[in-house]
Chain A
Amino acid sequence: MPRRIVVPFGPQHPVLPEPIHLDLVLKDEHVEEALPSIGYIHRGLETLVTRREYPEYVYIAERTCGICSFIHGMTYCQAVEKLVDCSVPERALFLRTIWSEYSRLHSHLLWLGLFADALGFENLFMASWRLRESVLDVLEETTGGRVIQGSCKVGGVRRDIPGETLERMRSGLDTIEREAGEIADVFLRDDSIISRTRGIGVLSREDAYALGAVGPTARASGVGIDLRKTGYAAYGRLSFSPVVETAGDCHARCIVRVKEIFTSIDLIRQAIAKIPDGPVEEKPKKNPEGDYFARSEQPRGELVHYVKGDGSRHLVRSRIRTPTLTNLPSLVRMLKGCNLADVPVIVLSIDPCIGCAER
């Protein structure tokens, strides 16, 4: 006779880098239902927008996440720039694109390391994070910050990258690409990784779309949504195709992130080749008035920054819809019917960022 029990999973668990709690309703070893709850690190960042002038809030927007911080700052700036009648210089748009893609590289390599660690593959964890260090070195050299860059501002960027540094970055990409190739080979072909991830936590294409999944979680299920295709920043001048897989399982989500590393390297190369000369910032002409939704593609998926202004220096509202928040319903669906032992791998496969989700 199977027994029904409820197992609390998290908020503290070895596989969780950040706190989320799941009530797992089990029938023997099978998960019948999973109910998430968050709120352990809610910071109320959105309300701070009324207490800081709109140019200062960029720093707060950046601190929404400790991984994709640059993209948060950039997306907030994109939203405000629509309200202050400001056209960002071309060179600044290319610089934003370059830093966004380096952020994606460092986020994906961080996730690959964590994923390897969750599977008990410590050497692979160390190899992924060693490579990530070389990406962080570039971010530090060009922005002054490894994780929080502070280089984006309303109207452009705070600092330029000199031509010789861009050249060095371009040659450094060859090394990153070669080393990423070695790591990728293990993630894509290793038997132990495949046996722990293939066919686990399957999310169908229909479910992914209906539940609002975004980013690699959606693309691994065959939903080819990638906001970079809307052409924000300099993406409209670069060519790429979103990485799409169809299996919808944990391995497919891993494959998407591995392949996206190479897409990012290619996009950085294109951006460095095409970056024009010129200024890197333009002054806003007025205070923000009206409202606007800016969307971008974070490493974890679609990010939305909504801002509303009334013509003063303080915005009325900032709303940040992060990819993890919208991927939670998909996670609930993936966990249904899985084995208890697979829960950590499935949770990690959506690359949850609870700091982002709670703000």
Chain B
Amino acid sequence: MTQDDQQTTIIEPLHLLGKVEEFKKKGCRLVQMHCTKAGDTFEINYSFDINYEFSNIRIITDGKTEIPSISGIYWGAFIYENEMQDLFGIRFAGMNIDFSGNLIRTAKKNPFADPSFRGEKPCPDA
């Protein structure tokens, strides 16, 4: 199995838990979760693997709506959900361990939620 075989499926947040349950039943492990700011919305990616077969599902959210936590299905997901909560300000409902913004302590609250600039412009903090 090479790494070229990758598929990303965009799903509605409503179907997230059902889809994640399917991966769990198939015996997949949770590889990672992460968030990407895409314009005014946020893409949240969930990656799974079984026998080096990589699958990715994506939900798109406005950043204000609470997302159901998958930590009830994959216990270790709390680390990624807390990371997204701290860096992007995404809120997750029903996390098994909620650090309430204290997993990654940053000087600025939710620093990745609003990237200040892009490209060659001077750094605004300079």
Interface residues of A (CB under 8 A from B): 35, 37-40, 42, 44, 46-47, 50-51, 78, 82, 209-212, 225, 227, 229-232, 236, 291-295, 302, 304, 306, 308, 312, 314, 316-317, 319, 321, 325-326, 328-330, 358
Interface residues of B (CB under 8 A from A): 1-4, 6, 8, 29-32, 34, 36-38, 45, 47, 52, 54, 56, 74-76, 78-80, 83, 86, 97, 99, 102-106, 111-112, 115, 117-119, 123
Interface contact B34-A319, CB-CB below 8 Å:
yes
Interface contact B3-A314, CB-CB below 8 Å:
no
Residue of A227, A295, A325, A329 with highest tally of chain B CB at under 10 A: A329
Interface contact A50-B119, CB-CB below 8 Å:
yes
Residue of B3, B6, B83 with highest tally of chain A CB at under 10 A: B3
CA distance A39 to B104 in the complex (A): 4
Q: A293 is contacted by which of B6, B75, B79 (Cβ under 8 Å)? A: B6
* Given A212-B29, A314-B118; 13 other pairs, CB 8 A cutoff: A35-B97, A42-B104, A47-B112, A225-B29, A230-B2, A230-B3, A292-B6, A295-B3, A306-B34, A316-B36, A316-B38, A321-B32, A321-B34
Q: What residues of chain A lie closer than 8 Å to B31, measured between beta carbons? A: 212, 295, 302, 304, 321, 326
A224 to chain B, nearest CB (A): 11
Interface contact B3-A304, CB-CB below 8 Å:
no
User: Given that A230-B2, A293-B47 are contacting pairs, would A37 and B29 also be in contact in the complex, using a CB cutoff of 8 Å?
Assistant: no
Interface contact B54-A42, CB-CB below 8 Å:
no
**B32, closest chain A residue (CB):** A321
Q: What residues of chain A lie closer than 8 Å to B45, measured between beta carbons? A: 306
**B106, closest chain A residue (CB):** A42
Please provide the 10 A-B residue pairs with the shortest distance between their CB atoms, ordered closest to farther. A329-B76, A39-B105, A321-B32, A39-B104, A211-B76, A50-B118, A319-B34, A317-B36, A212-B76, A212-B30
CA distance A125 to B76 in the complex (A): 33
Interface contact A38-B3, CB-CB below 8 Å:
no
Interface contact A210-B2, CB-CB below 8 Å:
no
CA distance A82 to B4 in the complex (A): 9
User: Given that A47-B115, A227-B52, A292-B6 are contacting pairs, would A38 and B103 also be in contact in the complex, using a CB cutoff of 8 Å?
Assistant: yes
* A contact face: mostly helix, strand, loop, or mixed: mixed
CA distance A319 to B74 in the complex (A): 21
Interface contact A229-B52, CB-CB below 8 Å:
yes
Q: What residues of chain A lie closer than 8 Å to B104, measured between beta carbons? A: 38-39, 42, 358
Interface contact B3-A328, CB-CB below 8 Å:
no
Q: What residues of chain B lie closer than 8 Å to A210, measured between beta carbons? A: 29, 74-76
Interface contact A209-B29, CB-CB below 8 Å:
yes
CA distance A140 to B102 in the complex (A): 40
B8 to chain A, nearest CB (A): 8
Interface contact A325-B75, CB-CB below 8 Å:
no
Q: What residues of chain B lie closer than 8 Å to A291, measured between beta carbons? A: 8
Residue of A40, A314, A319, A330 with highest tally of chain B CB at under 10 A: A319
Interface contact B79-A328, CB-CB below 8 Å:
yes
Interface contact B102-A308, CB-CB below 8 Å:
no
Interface contact A51-B76, CB-CB below 8 Å:
no
B103 to chain A, nearest CB (A): 6
Q: List, sorted by A's number, 6 A–B pairs whose CB atoms are closer than 8 Å.
A: A37-B102, A39-B102, A46-B112, A47-B112, A291-B8, A319-B32
Q: A231 is contacted by which of B2, B29, B117 (Cβ under 8 Å)? A: B2
Q: B79 is contacted by which of A51, A236, A312, A329 (Cβ under 8 Å)? A: A329
Interface contact B76-A326, CB-CB below 8 Å:
yes
